[in-house]
Amino acid sequence: MPIKKKGERIFMEKININALKENISFTGDLYIDNLFLLAPKSTPLTDSLIKALKLWNFSSFELDGNISLGGDIGVPMSNVNFENSDEPQQKETLGVSVKKVLEDSKSVDILKDDSLRLNMVKDVYLEYANYIELIYTRYATHKEINQEELSETVQELCIFVKDNKRFILRMMADDSLLNKNFLISHSLKSTILAIAIALQLHMPLSKMLDLGVCCILHEIGMLQLPPQIYMGTKQLTPGEKAMISKHPVYGYSILKSLNFPTSIQLGTLEHHEKENGIGYPRRLPSEKISFNAKVISVVCSYEAITSKRNYKSERSSLDAIVEMLLNKNNAYSQDIIKALLYTVSLYPIGSYVYLKNRKVAIVTDTDPDNPKNPVVELVTEKNADGSPITLKTSNPDYAILRALSKQEREDVLKIVNDKRKLIEEAQKIAAEMNKKTEEELLTKNKEEAQQGETVKTIETKTKEEIESETEEVDINFFN
């Protein structure tokens, strides 16, 4: 990307007046020229300012940064069409990459191999994160969301989670996978968990689809707030907390203006309401809270406990499920908490545990008959054919004694990775030796073949010479 210098300041981007929208903010300062600062970093633009700039015939500006979706994480300019953004445009198809990776995931070979399948699910998981980022980016820059495409993409996600639940829940346990804005990672993880709970509750696909769309968009109202408030590292002031508490109302207003179904509007508006009537923004009693909001309330809280934020460290998924089961002050629906327990188990999928047989294992699936005793795979051992060793912890010999701490998990994974590298190096050396042996054998066979051809040529030539010499003898000479 070309860099333009003006005086001592370096400007990275030039943007058109049509790119400026109400409430957009940037990860850097926005200037009219080298001397006049128009909007400091992270300051949302107002509608009155934009109208004034157009009235004064300003056409372009200099930006040292990107469009912001929160904190210092911005939308790359390559993802945004700034020129002529007020002109009618064909709707962008954002879900193409998702559809492609989903189509690739249907390979029979992948479905038969757990290792290949896990990698495939990882690809789908990351592609959905990119898709949600594009949804938020599109709204931030153009104030629009393609409802039809979003519904189709969420429907495909519902089917994918149904077919790959135990694999995709393992992705959620690995915080290192997503290098995304808090809004994006939180929306993706909450949506996957909400869909998994909906499957546990045997919800029809139409209701599940409604819940999934609502869950992806439930934090859209945050885009109306200064990002430094919800992405900052400092403790919030009472005034900032009051601003944060307005994001469900902002989200409701956004979705209402875009004509989303009422159930999705209400799920967004009410996702911070509590069963005990002390939630926000309307302090609704249990019977008046929509079902979508009840589910999102549970998955949001669970996800928030297990994820790292700028102002706090993450806690284990075991800590999260225990806290949700305690349900202090009856804040959450007991039915949905029970569904959460049966969805992820007491030792949630992706957790590392220490077994009675003194082995370390990872939780890979739930036991539908007993959520306290999930299915696990040994971490440091495999079957002779390379397939994972799977155990049911309902067997007393393989009972879970405790969950591993974060440090213990990291130590075990380091040992496993080091062992894997040694095996891969040994396999590489063996492959090179086999290749060398094959080449030597091929060369030897080729030489023997050439020798055989030479012998054959000599024999043929000798036979021809003998026949030729025989033909030249005059037998009458002996008469």
Is there a single domain that holds both residue 113 and residue 229? Answer: yes
Domain that holds residue 384: 352-404
Q: Please report whether residue 474 resides in a domain.
A: no
Q: Please report whether residue 365 resides in a domain.
A: yes
Quick: pLDDT tens for 90-124: 344 566 777 788 777 777 667 777 888 889 999 99
Which whole number is the average pLDDT over 147-155?
94
Q: What is the pTM of this model?
A: 0.72
Cα dihedral 427, 429, 430, 431 sign: positive
Estimate the crossing angle of helix 147-172 against helix 96-104, to 10 degrees: 50
Quick: pLDDT tens for 340-368: 999 999 999 999 999 999 999 999 999 98
Q: Please report whether residue 82 resides in a domain.
A: no
Q: Please report whether residue 78 resides in a domain.
A: no
Q: Cβ of 396: how many Cβ atoms within 10 Å?
A: 7
- Read off the pLDDT band of 16 (50, 70, 90): confident
Is there a single domain that holds both residue 121 and residue 246? Answer: yes
How far is residue 206's CA from residue 271's CA, in Å, rounded to a whole number? 20
- Read off the pLDDT band of 11 (50, 70, 90): very low
Please check the confidence at residue 461 and state whether its pLDDT lies above 90: no
Q: Please report whether residue 454 resides in a domain.
A: no
Please check the confidence at residue 8 and state whether its pLDDT lies above 50: no
Residue 73, helix vs strand vs coil? strand
Higher pLDDT, 225 or 175: 225
**Of the listed ranges 89-93, 101-105, 172-176, 201-205, the one predicted with least confidence:** 89-93
Percent of the chain with pLDDT over 90: 46
Number of domains in the chain: 3
- Read off the pLDDT band of 310 (50, 70, 90): low
Q: Does residue 281 have a cis peptide bond before it, meaning omega lies within 30 degrees of 0? A: yes
pLDDT value for 69: 53
Quick: pLDDT tens for 33-43: 666 667 777 67
Contact 264, 210 (CB under 8 A): yes
pLDDT value for 115: 83
Residue 361, helix vs strand vs coil? strand
End-of-domain residue from the set 306, 327, 344? 344
Is there a single domain that holds both residue 232 and residue 305? Answer: yes
How far is residue 404's CA from residue 235's CA, in Å, rounded to a whole number? 30
Which whole number is the average pLDDT over 142-159?
94
pLDDT value for 71: 41
56 by Cβ neighbours in 10 Å (0-12 / 13-18 / 19+) ranks as exposed
User: What is the domain-level CATH number for residue 135?
Assistant: 1.10.3210.10
pLDDT value for 459: 60
Is there a single domain that holds both residue 215 and residue 283? Answer: yes
Which whole number is the average pLDDT over 19-27?
75
- Read off the pLDDT band of 3 (50, 70, 90): very low
End-of-domain residue from the set 294, 322, 344? 344
Q: Please report whether residue 155 resides in a domain.
A: yes
pLDDT value for 290: 97
Q: Please report whether residue 472 resides in a domain.
A: no
Quick: pLDDT tens for 61-100: 777 766 665 444 444 444 555 444 444 443 445 667 777 8
